Amino acid sequence: MSSSTPPHIDQPVEPATTGTEQHGARAHSDGGWDKKVPVQTRSERPQSGDLDAFPAVTGREVNWKFAPLPKLQPLLDGGLDGSAYPYLARQSDGIDVDWGRSDDPRVGSAGLPEDRAAAAAWTARDAVLAITVSATEQQEFLTLTRADFGSQPRAAHTVITAEQDAQGIVVIDNRGTALLSENVEIVVRDNARLTVVSVQDWDDDAVHVSTHFNEVGRDAYLKHVVVSLGGDVVRVNPSTHLGAQGADTDMYGVYFADAGQYIEQQVYVHHDAPHTRGRVNYKGALQGEGAHTVWIGDVLIGRTADGTDSYEQNRNLVLTDGTRADSIPNLEIETGDIEGAGHASATGRFDDEQLFYLQARGIPEEEARRLVVLGFLVEVIQKIGAPELEERLIAAVEQELADGRTSVAAAEPQASA
């Protein structure tokens, strides 16, 4: 196994241990536990492509405790439709897109499922969409638009490969309605530079669960961007393995949750080789009764990751009452020889000083609020590096704000004549 390949465990969860080993926290001295001790860290989760390796989800698990399980249940039971689906591709000559068989040898090259939803989609795949970025003298691009999944439970599997020395931008643009669980594998080979953008601009009734497995090679770079605006329930969990010396990643996210909408991101960066670099920056805004966002950020700096430089942060801007933003950063360090590591999380309302500054210069309060929110989110949107897409997303954020103002105005009691 090469140094750039993540360690995988493709087997069922081990049976419960019934010994009395206290210091290892396997059992209490008064007697054995009926179940295995719950996994406490991201790096200890079992990995398998077999659905039966994962027990039924109860909602008590650390990685499921926030999720609205009744809405996700059809994607957890198995029996999904994993056949090929229609898509629209706009690409340059250096990128190939084609359907592969379910046993395509590229499957599993970036990772294996760590939860039941991903395993259900993995098991159900009947076709694999393979995207290959070839090494050329220019930056290649692809926009893949998907809008025809329908309302039945579906599975999808995509493998994106940037060949050695290649450079490109791949945008996956999700629209329409869907009840979808998918796995996306991203492999960035040595010296390649790749940007992958996943846009969730679904209809209001869509339910989408997605796991991204990212493998970054020697002196290679991956920019990974998750944009979640539309949908009823959206859960995108990207995991990046920096398994070769000099591997580098920037992981960005921007999201906007409206009334009743649930958006979740569980981000994982595993530094597993010397002199790797990782940056995670996710920003979100919430407005409307019942808007709920969840961000869980995990970083593991392994024993072999000397010289690591890593930082993760999450910022949430609350626009109205009745919202909830959960933000949980975690950091594990197994070596003392690092350049630096840190994490930060903050959730708050508008900065009154910013609003006062703008209003003092003649800008109405409503316009001032719009400018503050755009300035907050646009910082991440402008990292994408695709001007046309950036303009569209900025317009979408402005529409979200306008829709929110309309909803609030409609909910306010009207004065009697």
pLDDT, tens digit (0-9, with 9 covering 90-100), for 241-283: 999 999 999 999 999 999 999 999 999 999 999 999 999 999 9
CA-CA distance, 63 to 239, in Å (whole number)?
14
Work out the average pLDDT over 354-368: 81
CA-CA distance, 69 to 86, in Å (whole number)?
28
pLDDT band for position 417 (cuts 50, 70, 90): very low
Which pLDDT value is given to residue 1?
A: 41
C-alpha neighbours within 13 Å on the C-beta side of residue 344: 10
Which pLDDT value is given to residue 25?
A: 44
Which pLDDT value is given to residue 40?
A: 59
Which pLDDT value is given to residue 407?
A: 54
pLDDT digits (tens, 9 = 90+) for 294-309: 999 999 999 999 999 9
**DSSP for residue 262:** E
Top-confidence range, 60-64, 170-174, 317-321, 373-377: 170-174
CA-CA distance, 201 to 198, in Å (whole number)?
10
Report residue 56 as tokens: 């039924």
pLDDT band for position 366 (cuts 50, 70, 90): confident
Work out the average pLDDT over 311-324: 95
Which pLDDT value is given to residue 20?
A: 41
pLDDT band for position 364 (cuts 50, 70, 90): confident
Which pLDDT value is given to residue 214?
A: 98
pLDDT digits (tens, 9 = 90+) for 89-137: 999 999 999 999 999 999 999 999 999 999 999 999 999 999 999 999 9
pLDDT digits (tens, 9 = 90+) for 183-219: 999 999 999 999 999 999 999 999 999 999 999 999 9
pLDDT digits (tens, 9 = 90+) for 8-48: 444 444 444 444 444 444 444 444 444 555 565 677 788 99
CA-CA distance, 117 to 102, in Å (whole number)?
18
Helix axis angle for 365-381 and 387-411, nearest 10°, is 140
Query: Mean pLDDT lowest for which of 87-101, 219-233, 347-361?
Result: 347-361
CA-CA distance, 58 to 65, in Å (whole number)?
8
Report whether 68 contacts 233 (CB < 8 A). Answer: yes
CA-CA distance, 287 to 294, in Å (whole number)?
14
Asked if residue 411 has pLDDT above 90, the reply is no
Report whether 203 contacts 226 (CB < 8 A). Answer: no
Which pLDDT value is given to residue 24?
A: 43
Residue 89 three-state SS: strand
Q: Among 247, 306, 297, which residue's Cα sits nearest to residue 277?
A: 247
CA-CA distance, 155 to 103, in Å (whole number)?
15
pLDDT digits (tens, 9 = 90+) for 36-87: 555 656 777 889 999 999 999 999 998 999 999 999 999 999 999 999 999 9
Residue 40 three-state SS: coil
CA-CA distance, 128 to 130, in Å (whole number)?
6
Which pLDDT value is given to residue 400?
A: 86
Report residue 398 as tokens: 């402005």
Which pLDDT value is given to residue 21?
A: 44
Q: What is the mean pLDDT of the chain?
A: 88
Asked if residue 229 has pLDDT above 90, the reply is yes
C-alpha neighbours within 13 Å on the C-beta side of residue 52: 1
